[in-house]
Chains A and B, each alone.
Chain A
Amino acid sequence: MERSSVPPAEALRFFGRTVAGTTHELVNVLNIVGELAGLQDDLLRGVAAGRPLDLAKLSTLAERTRAQTERGHALLRHLNRFAHSVDHECVSYDLGDLFDTFAALAERTVRLARARLTVRPPLATLVLLGSPFAAHLALSLCLDAVLQGSPPNREVHLSAHPTPAGATVIVGGSGAWGVAWEPSREEPLRQALAACPGRIVSISAADQAPLFTVELLDLAHLGAEHGENRHAS
């Protein structure tokens, strides 16, 4: 199996776009927390002016603030995990964890496309040896293609199941779609998959929603098959 790296310009563009989208979400979280603090301040000014303290409202404010800080922490945790995905071109990673991070970081893109992403992670822990960053990029290219031309309120799904050589990942929508898949867009996906390593199994589009089936290969399995040494970080 020939393995290559993601072209640096493509990698940097994807990294930047992911960080920018996630930091926009974090700014939203901070803005909400700021307004909640302002509302708390309003409440206290009312008390200072002689109105009774509304304990129920104060408790609700605390809950709402906590919910936003939890949202912010989750975003930061996923962003940090994504940032570390470039540390090694070959490392063991859990595909279920990668799906979690991918879905969390893609939330803004999906929302702006007015779609819903449903993730069906592998039923059992599925650890692959390869490049998690390239896997993120490959999933993102599939998702972008599915979201393009997606009618509002459509469901997009991401699922995986184990294969003897790694995992099959399916990214697709349902029903009629607005834009047909252009085969010229396959090249960036092929490059990302080559870096995973992985391969395109099929892309079905016609006039329906595009459906990507790709296989992420486990280098540990390939190494064993070819009598190579296994290595994991």
Chain B
Amino acid sequence: MRPDRVLLVDDEVAFLEVLSERLQARGLEVSAVATGEEAVRLAETRTFDAVVLDLAMPGMDGLETLRRLLAAQPHLQVMILTGQATLQAAVEATRLGAVDIFEKPADIETLLGRIRLARAKRLALEEKNTEEEIADILRTRGW
């Protein structure tokens, strides 16, 4: 089985580096980018089990990044990890489809557990989607 694949998005590069190291040390395959634009570009070409996303970023902010990521990949499991979560931003992120919201500092083992859960959830959603597509083909073609 391939390792869990996670995309970290945070404009604080020093934070990005150390969190990447800690997750890699736990066996995860980590991609790390410092902007929302890079995250959206990367998610267009690669599949991730989870995205860990900051909210306050230059250029495309976390909420807009979340919106675009989910528009491109509706089953993507995006978690917010932020140092400055306002209630309003948290509500908006949840409404847009974020699966979890963590305030920094987050416990690494809790974060790891949620990433693993996210992978299982993404696979289950994709499996369900495939089953529905097959059922749809069978129904429309009268097989």
Contact = CB atoms under 8 A, between A and B. Distances in A.
Interface in A1-41: 24, 27-28, 30-32, 34-36, 38-39
18 contacts: A24-B84, A27-B104, A28-B83, A30-B105, A31-B15, A31-B105, A32-B12, A32-B14, A32-B18, A35-B18, A38-B108, A39-B18, A64-B18, A112-B58, A113-B58, A114-B58, A114-B59, A152-B59
Given A27-B83, A27-B84, A35 B58 contact: no
Contacts of B108: 38
A88 interface: no
Interface string B76-112: 0000000110000000000000000000110010000
Interface of B: 11-12, 14-15, 18-19, 21-22, 25, 56-59, 83-84, 104-105, 108
Chain A at the B interface: mostly helix, strand, loop or mixed?
Answer: helix
A111 B58 contact: yes
Given A28-B15, A112-B56, A114-B58, A35 B83 contact: no
| Size category of the binding interface on chain A | 20 to 34
Contacts of B18: 32, 35-36, 38-39, 64
Interface of A: 24, 27-28, 30-32, 34-36, 38-39, 42, 64, 67-68, 111-114, 152
Contacts of B25: 39, 42
